[in-house]
Amino acid sequence: MNVIERIKDQIENNPVVLYMKGSPDFPQCGFSGQTVQILDACQAKYIHVNIFEDPELREALKAYSNWPTYPQLYIGGELIGGCDIVIDLYKKGELPKMLAAVNGTV
């Protein structure tokens, strides 16, 4: 399976995927940490992918998503965006609804 197939598989087979720097327990950048805090506040069920553990995926995902920065949050197979967008959606009350639609959380 090539790297693009792996990305597609992760996104298609998991309702919520967070590509981030580090892990939820040890985020390695402030933006990834803030995104994890918001997902946790929403009691979201999600998988994370530490982009530092897979340099090939890190570069391929930028091209795949046409989004140059991390974190990248996918919900229901769609790229939602990075930290600023996640914060905005959370403040507007939209993020919990989006998460509930794909995995029954709120």
Cα-Cα-Cα-Cα dihedral sign, residues 27, 62, 15, 43: positive
SS (H, E, C) 41-77: HCCCCCEEEEHHHCHHHHHHHHHHHCCCCCCEEEECC
29 is in an annotated binding site: yes
Q: How far apart are the first and last CA of the chain?
A: 34
Binding residues for [2Fe-2S] cluster, as ranges, are 29
Binding residues, as ranges, are 29
